Amino acid sequence: MSLRLDPAEIESVLTSVLLKHGFASARAELCARLFTETTLDGVYSHGLNRFPGFIDAVKRGIVRPDKEPCLLYTSPSPPDLRQDLVCRLML
């Protein structure tokens, strides 16, 4: 037996959780959409499977809902086969 969930319902629940953890409404909705869509795209490591760890990081102060991401630095990355500049973000 498999369980099917409505993506809109998942997104709504995730938004609610994020709001309870101090995210502004627009940011909560965006994060919830990204977690949901990533799961729907089959990238489970960055979708719903990551959400509990993300909330834990919020609780521990690693992710701060009141802060905007900013560019920390750019550098060539050896694993990048194209040798392009790779953005490093501090969230």
Return the half-sphere exposure (C-beta side, CA atoms, 13 A cut-off) of residue 59: 8
Q: Catalytic amino acids? A: 46
C-beta atoms surrounding 31 within 10 Å: 20
- Are 22 and 65 in contact by the 8 Å Cβ rule? The answer is yes
